[in-house]
Amino acid sequence: MFNLILFGPPGSGKGTQSERLISQFGLKHLSTGDLLRSELSRQTPLGVEAKSFMDKGMLVPDEVVIGMISSALDSNPEANGFLFDGFPRTEAQAEALDKLLKLKQTEISLVLSLIVTEEELVKRLLGRGKTSGRSDDVDENIIRARITEYHKKTSAVADYYKKFDKVVEIKGEGTVDEIFDSLSAEIEKRMYIGQ
């Protein structure tokens, strides 16, 4: 199995690149943001709980997203590998993910970390807010809160994986094609030898 984490701050292009990477490399896409929004639109108890955090730009509690990822892993026993997008976002989530993958006799193969300046992030998210229908993209205060959460809790996840030498940083500015090519090159280097 090849298990990839696409890592980066809100607005760094994870969603856009994930769509292309899963079709190129045959991975199963697991986006906690998408899973949460689906719970929210179905108004499940989990969705109702998550909404109060998401509306403030705060992270949803670890046990909620870990449970969601655990069942997503169990419901895809045939997958050749997973692309994790927006997860893990805290060190506790990273440790939990390692344990879940170990139970399945696999592990994280690579963490690709998209690097984008803060001003570019805010610009992109406000732009996306005009068309995405996502309420957390419309308000600049919520956007800044998400970026602050990223610096406070999520950037530590990259340090966690750096200890295991799994992180490669990729410039997240340029055209979508250029960034896709840089990401793909790193995957290709590892996918066919380590599998």
Interface with ligand ADP (CB under 6 A): 10-11, 32-33, 36, 53-54, 57-60, 65, 86-87, 89, 93, 136, 146
**Whole-angstrom Cα distance, residue 132 to residue 124?**
12
- Of 20, 51, 134, 190, which residue is the catalytic one? 134
From 51, 128, 153, 166, active-site residue: 128
**Partners of 74 in the β-ladder:** none
For residues 17 and 32, which CB has a smaller minimum distance to ligand ADP in the complex?
32
Query: Token pair of 126, please?
Result: 């406000």
The least CB distance from residue 140 to ligand ADP, in Å, is 14
**134 counts as catalytic:** yes
167 in Cβ contact with 113 (< 8 Å)? yes
Q: Which is nearer to ligand ADP, 53 or 190 (CB)?
A: 53
Spatial CA neighbour of 87 closest among 110, 62, 107: 62
Give catalytic status of residue 89 as yes or no.
yes
Q: How far apart are the first and last CA of the chain?
A: 6
Cβ-closest position to ligand ADP: 33
Nearer Cβ to ligand ADP (120/188): 120
Catalytic residues: 14, 89, 128, 134, 146
